[in-house]
A and B are shown apart, each in its own frame.
Chain A
Amino acid sequence: MVGMTRKKTFFWLCIFLLPNLLGFLTFIGAPIVSSLIISFTDWDLLGEMQFTGFENYIRLAQDPDFWVSFRNTIFFILGYIPLVLIFGLACALLLNKQMKFRAFFRATFFLPVITSWVAVSLVWKWLYNPEYGLINYALSIIGIDGPQWLSDPNTAMIGIILASAWKDIGFVMVLFLGGLQNISPSFYEAASIDGAGKARKLWNITIPLLAPTTFFVTIISLINSFQVFDQVMIMTGGGPGGSTEVMVQNIYNHAFRYFEMGYASAMSWVLFLVIFLFTWIQMKVQDRR
């Protein structure tokens, strides 16, 4: 009888999942499988698909452009993740206090998250404009000759990192706020009785108890930032001189501008494996804790 009910449950489960599952299989599942197949072929969309074995993957390992885009992506991540974590947590701590207009401030910080990347990128592009931009104007007031930002290969990626962090801090803040509200006030009360100060409470209670949230935020940000694309495409197009070319942009170029579908698919599978690897490592680290 128990078996029967389980089967029945499974039946209804399938029925309820069907609409979602259909969409998933058609628009995500099938493309994922076919991209794996395409990654072993040479295909320009027009001609016949030719099976070439591991040739795309071998080419990839030797392609300096791929490694440049890989390095640029890592550089982006190393700048972006600490920024969103620190400032996201700072905002969450500030806005977790009882204060006037708290909802207003929370909404304001969250606003960039729901704004489209196209609009955000265009605005930041103007802010960074070396001649007419607000940032260099502000710097000139305090006597600093501002950099060329997006026109200079040394600062272009930094510019993209700052804009990306600005946009995503609100998202991280909301996640941390959720985490903060899950910490029972009794911990703080107990700590107060023991005479702990604010810094002590933050260090010994808040941060350790936020660990699951921090872990989640880091993984999500990591996965997202490996796929950084929109802002780069609009703000610099990978320039100047390839200094901001990131992995997804490289994939996009090979797929939809050079029409090397096989090679582009191979790159996306490598990107997938990289993301998978980082996620797996973090899971392991988390488990041990």
Chain B
Amino acid sequence: MKKLWLLSLFFLIAVISLVGCSSEGESEGSGEEGGDGTTEITYYSFSAAPNYEDVLADIVTAFEEENPNIKVNTELAAYDDYFTKLQTRLAGGNAPDVFELNYENFVQYASKGTLADLSGFIEEDDNFDPSQLNQEAFKAYQYDGKQYGMVESFSNVLTFYNKDLFDEAGVDYPTADWTWEDELAAAEKITNEENNVWGTYAPATMNEYFKIAAQNGGQLFDENGEPTVDTEENLEAMNYMVEKVTESGVTPSPAEMSGQAPADLFMNGQLGIVHTGIWMFDAFKDASFEWDVALEAGNTQKAHHFFANGLAVSADTDKKEAAYKFARFMSASDQVAELRVENSWELPAVNNDEVLQPYLEQTPPENREAVFNALDTLVLPPVVENWSQINDVTNQEFEKALNGSKSTEDVIKTLQSEYENILN
């Protein structure tokens, strides 16, 4: 009798959950195609949060005016939470129709078959030609010869410098052919420990390391994605990053930063140079001192970051065409590009010089051409599986090198074996 009750209880639960599921399915089904033939799509984004929500809203309005039978619902998440939610939704069969992917994460999603192939839509589309876009950026969203995403914007990292601090120290401003030595020499003159002023700051993280390694002719992974971190060039690059903190002291240690963001230190006039992304233009525009940007210093060669964001369409959605239309609009529409430029929301990936002209004319910084000049020597982030795990391990080992609990020689050996472990 006891068992019977338990059984009926489970039965009850099963029935209730079934009813719950089916009614959910129904309501979803009716939402897809409204009575008046409009298609509702969901767009999930990280780059709009939290500073560009209004711009995105304007873009959506413009899109809906152009495509009256498509309605776009936007969902935003901060970058740190974005992928957790995206992956869970994909797993739950409840993926957004169209969503943002940065280049580093794109390959992983494309290779797992979660993205829709857009090649067919692009071929049939009379209003779009790939030549409208920056080719390097457009091709970044190909996998296995198919187009799985539409690049919308890109950004890179430059040397931001405080002119006032350079003048005070009597140092010449950075030039396009600056080397590591030049930067160190300038930073040493600017550093003033008593006043808590430091010469230069760059994060000691994986994202910085692969670029610094490239500036020294090294690379952390070979063409097949095998780790090649334990080399002389990469060790020199690591020493350059670490010794700025531990030896010359031109970069504040994590303890000296005491939880402040480098951007805040720069805004306080406590940093001569900060290496950060062009997405900071807007935040720095109210600085109380004169500042400008320059190309990054190199050692044996130049190398600049290149970050791209793009839109991909879910492989599961049955509203692929509407989703593609929105992705194309975000990517190639001049209207969107103008809005981006106007609001300094990264750099649109379009080739249209007319649209980009206002971007170059805005100040500060005066030397905006550096943004485009940097593209000549770009280094793409390594595309390997388990990127975030590799990131974490690297950053953790860098912390050990910075606080002196581990030598850089040991760190690089650990990294080599950890990478091999993680990738196999």
Contacts and interface: CB of A to CB of B under 8 A. Distances in A.
Q: Bound pair: A and B?
A: yes
Interface of A: 7, 10-11, 14, 18, 21-22, 25-26, 44-47, 125-126, 129-133, 148, 151-153, 238-242, 253, 256-259
Interface size class of B (residues with CB under 8 A): 20 to 34
Contact of B254 (A10, A18, A132, A151): A151
A258 to B, nearest CB: 4
Contacts of A10: 1-2, 5
A45 B108 CA distance: 12
A257 B105 CA distance: 12
B127 interface: no
Interface string B386-424: 101100100011011001011000000000000000000
B87 A259 contact: yes
Contacts of B120: none
Contacts, number: 79
B13 interface: yes
Contacts of B255: 130-131, 148, 151-152
Contacts of A45: 87-88, 90-91
Interface string B102-142: 00000001001110000000000000000000000000000
Given A45-B88, A129-B258, 13 more contacts: A10-B1, A18-B12, A22-B13, A47-B113, A130-B258, A151-B253, A151-B403, A240-B254, A240-B399, A241-B403, A253-B389, A257-B392, A259-B87
B84 interface: yes
A133 to B, nearest CB: 8
A259 B17 CA distance: 27
Contacts of B12: 18
Q: Which of A22, A44, A253, A258 has the most CB of B within 10 A?
A: A258
Given A132-B258, A152-B255, A257-B388, A11 B403 contact: no
B16 interface: yes
Contacts of B37: none
A26 B258 CA distance: 44
Contacts of B16: 22
B286 interface: no
B19 interface: no
Contacts of B17: 26
B403 A152 contact: yes
A interface majority secondary structure? loop
Given A240-B403, A257-B388, A47 B112 contact: yes
Interface string B62-94: 000000000000000000000010011011000
B223 interface: no
30 contacts: A7-B1, A10-B1, A18-B9, A18-B12, A22-B13, A25-B13, A45-B91, A46-B87, A46-B109, A47-B112, A130-B258, A131-B255, A131-B256, A131-B258, A151-B255, A151-B258, A152-B255, A152-B403, A153-B403, A239-B399, A240-B254, A240-B400, A240-B403, A241-B400, A241-B406, A242-B399, A253-B389, A257-B84, A257-B389, A258-B386
A258 B389 contact: yes
Nearest to B255: A151
A68 B424 CA distance: 21
A11 B392 contact: no
A22 to B, nearest CB: 6
A159 to B, nearest CB: 13
A151 B404 CA distance: 12
A226 to B, nearest CB: 22
Nearest to A132: B258
Contacts of B5: 10-11, 14
Given A10-B5, A14-B9, A240-B254, A125 B114 contact: no
Contacts of A258: 386, 388-389
Contact of B392 (A46, A47, A131, A253): A253
The 10 closest A-B pairs by CB, nearest first: A45-B91, A151-B255, A241-B400, A241-B399, A131-B258, A46-B112, A258-B389, A148-B255, A240-B399, A256-B84
A131 B17 CA distance: 55
Contacts of B84: 256-257
B259 interface: yes
B120 to A, nearest CB: 23
A238 B256 CA distance: 19
A152 B400 CA distance: 10
A259 B406 CA distance: 29
Contacts of A259: 87
Nearest to A147: B255
B368 to A, nearest CB: 35
A21 B254 CA distance: 49
